Amino acid sequence: MLRVSQLSCSRGNKPLFVDVSFALQAGQALHLEGDNGVGKTSLLRIICGLSPADAGEVCWKDKTIQHNAAAFRSSLFYLGHGLSLKEELSALENLMSDAAVSGRTLSEPQAMVALARMGLRGREHLPLRVMSQGQKRRTALARLLASQAPLWVLDEPFVALDVKAVDGLRGLLAEHVAHGGMVLFTSHQPVALTRANGTSVDVQTYRLRGVA
Ligand SMILES: Nc1ncnc2c1ncn2[C@@H]1O[C@H](COP(=O)(O)OP(=O)(O)OP(=O)(O)O)[C@@H](O)[C@H]1O
pLDDT digits 0-9 by tens, 19-46 = 999 999 999 999 999 999 999 999 999 9
11 lines ligand 1 (CB under 6 A): yes
- Give the residue, by CA position, lying nearest to ligand 1 atom 4: 12
Q: Range of 159's domain?
A: 2-207
Number of domains, the chain = 1
Closest by CA to 52, choosing from 38, 40, 63, 66, is: 66
Residue 167 in domain: yes
Residue 94 in domain: yes
Residues near 77 by beta carbon (within 8 Å), at least 6 away in sequence:
143, 144, 147, 149, 151, 152, 153
Domain harbouring 200, CATH code: 3.40.50.300
Residue 191 in domain: yes
Residue 212 in domain: no
Helix (H, G, I), strand (E, B) or coil at 58: strand
Residue 83 in domain: yes
In degrees rounded to 5, what are phi and psi of residue 122? Answer: 90, -10
Distance in Å, CA 189 to ligand 1 centroid = 19
Distance in Å, CA 111 to ligand 1 centroid = 34
How many whole angstroms separate alpha carbon 161 and alpha carbon 171? Answer: 14
Residues near 155 by beta carbon (within 8 Å), at least 6 away in sequence:
40, 41, 44, 79, 80, 81, 185, 186
**ipTM of this complex prediction, to 2 decimal places:** 0.94
pLDDT digits 0-9 by tens, 138-175 = 999 999 888 889 999 999 999 988 898 899 899 999 99
Distance in Å, CA 169 to ligand 1 centroid = 26
Residue 46 in domain: yes
